[in-house]
């Protein structure tokens, strides 16, 4: 609001005025001014100064927020592990920006050492990692490449959405690099992630290990520490699909599975849909081999024979519920969507 | 005498044709009219005896019709200027009649017609006169406050920057000016009766102490509002300004 003021005194271009708000103050005025003159206060420097000041404060505030974000990693809202043989884990904030980088093995450390990943969006980080992996020939064309990724929401994150996003990003990056690879993505509960950490392998590998065990395939845990996933599959004559820890081991269809592209199929990818690969053991073999991997697990997933038929019946009635008995659902619920089988349950 | 609180409202009523309000206002300003006219004549006047007072009364009435707040001059200052102008005209005519001087540029002309015809010149005259009056007021104000050891720079320093604080202190200065005992105590000792004021207004002693010079100076303006008509219009409490649109 511009106001009027009467000039009381002038000294060297500075006028002492009394404003119509009853304020005595000094203003710098140009021109020939005499006491007694009424002036309209200029759209005041003071006001303009204040606007500037406010702007400056805001700027500083914004800038410091950015700085703050840069210096102090904000709460990580989700972890994404990425296994291209070297394995890394990225901690994302709630905006999907990478805040933490954790190599999960020495080659992972080597791989990410030269990359600028902190503070960039997930897609960009994944892109960098994939392209670096291709450059270093961890992924090369023609071979049975497998990229395994898991998402573990720990904060306010929609796991399914993140899951989808990771898959798309990885696939896009691979296409961009002109290499073909199978992409396995799955959600891992925080418990699974912890256990994988204790085992010293990537969450993805751990989940594959669980999956294999779940299927009753005899696997050597050491394989999962050292071998390529591709080799494990070859050795064990199995084919991993998307990551999940299932109770579907009785389903021949799933056992046979092994599609390179499982995109968007997980929810529909129930017994009986789609063409299946081969190489997976038959259900009968499966049952015979139940042994070693099983020890890793306990709880309702590691069920004995008698319960199996009942389970299958249940699934037959209701596809959506096949993943777990109701009591377990509750436990695993934090990791997400109900239609998604929860790997976490298997480990519990 | 303190300025009429609701002058603005009354002026609006009068402009809307309320003759009763007009009568009331004129009645309330008899002393003001008398003093304004007497100042021109240089001698004291009596209400029912002197022609100059009648001229002043007419002029005041004219001011009521012609006052325009947008001009930025408080009503009473405006009225006083009109009174001064009319009484001067009257005296000049009287003088001419008595001295029989032959020069008669505007002889016989109705002064109102002249004024309207020379509206622009009159406006300029009004502005100049108002500026001169303000200058005189400022000089007088400066003289009074320097007697209390206050300079304009002090006022700039002690003037509260926050609008609410300022209006609190202004209200207090007004109370102080209205209170004969406290005000006289202030003028004789040069000290602000902080405790008494704090009790009177409910404002904390610290705030009063910080705004001490500001309170003193503005209470002086309030106290002598008739002499500081222009300055007074600048320290009117919010919402009661009659000097600005």
Q: Is residue B183 less than 8 Å (CB to CB) from chain A?
A: no
| Closest CB from B138, B160, B218 relative to A35 | B138
| Interface contact B234-A8, CB threshold 8 A | no
A239 neighbors A277 (Cβ within 8 angstroms): yes
Return the H-helix or E-strand segment holding A130: helix A122-135
Phi, psi torsion values for A91, nearest 5 degrees: -95, 125
What would the two tokens of residue A22 be? 């009853």
End-to-end CA distance of chain B: 24
Of B138, B153, B244, the CB nearest to A20: B244
Q: Measured in whole angstroms, how far is the alpha carbon of residue A46 from the centre of its chain? A: 49
- What's the pLDDT at B93? 84
**Residue B88: its pLDDT value, please?**
87
**B139 or A61, greater pLDDT:** B139
Chain B nearest C-alpha distance from A51 (Å): 17
The answer to whether the predicted template modeling score (pTM) of the entire model surpasses 0.90 is no
Closest Cβ–Cβ partner in B134, B153, B163 for A6: B134
Q: Which residue of A has its CA nearest to B163?
A: A21
The DSSP line for B85-134 is HHHHHHHHHHHHHHHT-S--TTTT--HHHHHHHTHHHHHHHHHHHHHHHH
pLDDT for the residue A214: 75
Dist CA B28 CA B21 (whole Å): 10
pLDDT surpassing 60 at residue A11:
yes
Q: Do A20 and B233 touch (CB under 8 A)?
A: yes
Mean pLDDT score of chain A: 68
Mark yes or no for CB contact B163/A18 under 8 Å. Answer: no
- Catalogue all structural domains in chain B, each as residue range(s) with its CATH number: 7-100+109-117 (1.10.1740), 147-234 (no CATH)
Vertex A25: Cα angle to A22 and A27 (nearest 5): 130
The pLDDT, as a whole number, for residue A343 is: 47
Q: Residue A152: beta bridge partners?
A: A79
- The per-residue pLDDT for B143 is 92
Q: Which residue has the tokens 């008398």?
A: B34
User: Do residues A178 and A251 touch, judged by C-beta distance below 8 A?
Assistant: no
| Residue A272, Ramachandran bin (φ over 0: left; ψ between -120 and 50: alpha; else beta) | left
Q: Which residues of chain B have pLDDT under 70?
A: 1-5, 97-118, 237-245
Taking CB atoms and an 8 Å cutoff, what residues of chain B touch A26?
156
State residue B141's pLDDT score. Answer: 92
DSSP, collapsed to helix, strand or coil, labels residue B159 as coil
> A19 contacts in B (CB within 8 Å)?
234
B231 Cβ under 8 Å from any chain A Cβ: yes
Report pLDDT for A141: 67
Is 0.85 exceeded by the ipTM?
A: no
pLDDT in tens, B171-211: 888 888 888 888 998 888 888 888 888 888 888 888 888 88
Helices (H) and strands (E) counted in chain A, each on its own, are 14, 9
- Residues of chain B found within 8 Å of residue A20, distances taken between Cβ atoms: 233-234, 236, 241, 243-244
Indicate the range of A100-104, A114-118, A231-235, A290-294 predicted with least confidence. A290-294
Q: Roughly what angle, to the nearest 10 degrees, separates helices B19-28 and B7-15?
A: 140
pLDDT in tens, A150-208: 888 877 677 778 888 888 888 888 888 888 777 888 888 888 888 888 877 788 888 88
């Amino acid at each position: 609001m511009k106001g009027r003021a009467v000039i009381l005194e002038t000294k060297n271009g500075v006028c002492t005025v009394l404003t119509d708000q009853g304020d005595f103050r000094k203003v710098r005025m140009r021109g020939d001014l005499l006491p007694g003159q009424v002036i309209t206060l200029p759209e005041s420097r003071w006001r303009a100064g204040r606007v500037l000041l406010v702007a400056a404060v805001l700027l500083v505030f914004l800038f410091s927020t950015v700085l703050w974000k840069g210096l102090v990693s904000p709460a990580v809202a989700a972890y994404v592990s990425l296994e291209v043989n070297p394995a890394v884990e990225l901690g994302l904030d709630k905006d999907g920006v990478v805040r933490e980088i954790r190599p999960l093995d020495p080659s992972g450390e080597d791989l990410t050492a030269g990359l600028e990943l902190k503070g960039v969006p997930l897609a960009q980080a994944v892109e960098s990692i994939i392209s670096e992996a291709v450059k270093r020939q961890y992924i090369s064309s023609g071979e049975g490449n497998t990229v395994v990724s898991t998402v573990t929401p720990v904060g306010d994150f929609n796991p399914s959405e993140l899951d989808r996003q990771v898959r798309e990003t990885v696939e896009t990056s691979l296409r961009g690099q002109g290499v073909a690879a199978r992409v396995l993505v799955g959600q891992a509960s925080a418990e699974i992630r912890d256990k994988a950490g204790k085992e010293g392998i990537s969450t993805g590998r751990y989940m594959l290990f669980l999956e294999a065990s779940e299927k009753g395939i005899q696997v050597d845990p050491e394989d999962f520490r050292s071998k390529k996933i591709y080799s494990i599959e070859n050795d064990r004559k199995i084919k991993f699909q998307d990551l999940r820890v299932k109770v579907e081991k009785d389903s021949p269809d799933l056992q046979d599975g092994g599609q390179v592209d499982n995109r968007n199929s997980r929810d529909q990818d129930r017994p009986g849909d789609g063409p299946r690969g081969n190489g997976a053991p038959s259900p009968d073999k499966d049952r015979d081999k139940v042994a070693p991997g099983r020890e890793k697990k306990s709880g309702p997933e590691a069920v004995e024979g008698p319960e199996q038929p009942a389970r299958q019946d249940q699934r037959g009635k209701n596809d959506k519920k096949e993943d777990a008995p109701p009591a377990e659902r509750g436990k695993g619920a934090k990791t997400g969507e109900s239609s998604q089988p929860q790997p976490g349950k298997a480990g519990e | 005498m303190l300025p009429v609180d609701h002058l603005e409202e009354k002026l609006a009523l009068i402009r809307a044709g309320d003759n009763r309000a007009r009568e009331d206002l004129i009645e309330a300003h008899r002393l003001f009219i008398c003093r304004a006219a007497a100042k021109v004549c240089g001698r004291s006047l009596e209400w029912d005896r002197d022609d100059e007072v009648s001229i002043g009364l007419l002029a005041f009435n004219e001011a009521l019709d012609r006052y325009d707040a947008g001009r930025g001059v408080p009503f009473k200052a405006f009225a006083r200027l009109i009174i001064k102008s009319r009484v001067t005209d009257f005296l000049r005519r009287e003088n001419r009649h008595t001295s029989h001087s032959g020069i008669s540029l505007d002889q016989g002309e109705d002064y109102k017609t002249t004024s309207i015809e020379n509206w622009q010149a009159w406006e300029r005259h009004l502005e100049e006169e108002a500026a001169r009056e303000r200058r005189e007021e400022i000089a007088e104000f400066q003289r009074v406050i320097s007697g209390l050891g206050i300079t304009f720079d002090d006022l700039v320093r002690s003037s509260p920057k926050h609008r609410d604080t300022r209006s609190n202190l202004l209200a207090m200065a007004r109370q102080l000016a209205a209170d004969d005992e406290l005000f006289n105590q202030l003028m004789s000792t040069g000290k602000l009766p902080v405790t008494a004021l704090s009790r009177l207004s409910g404002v904390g002693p610290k705030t009063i102490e910080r705004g001490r010079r500001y309170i003193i100076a503005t209470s002086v303006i309030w106290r002598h509002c008739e002499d500081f008509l222009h300055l007074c219009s600048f320290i009117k409490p919010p919402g009661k300004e009659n000097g600005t649109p």
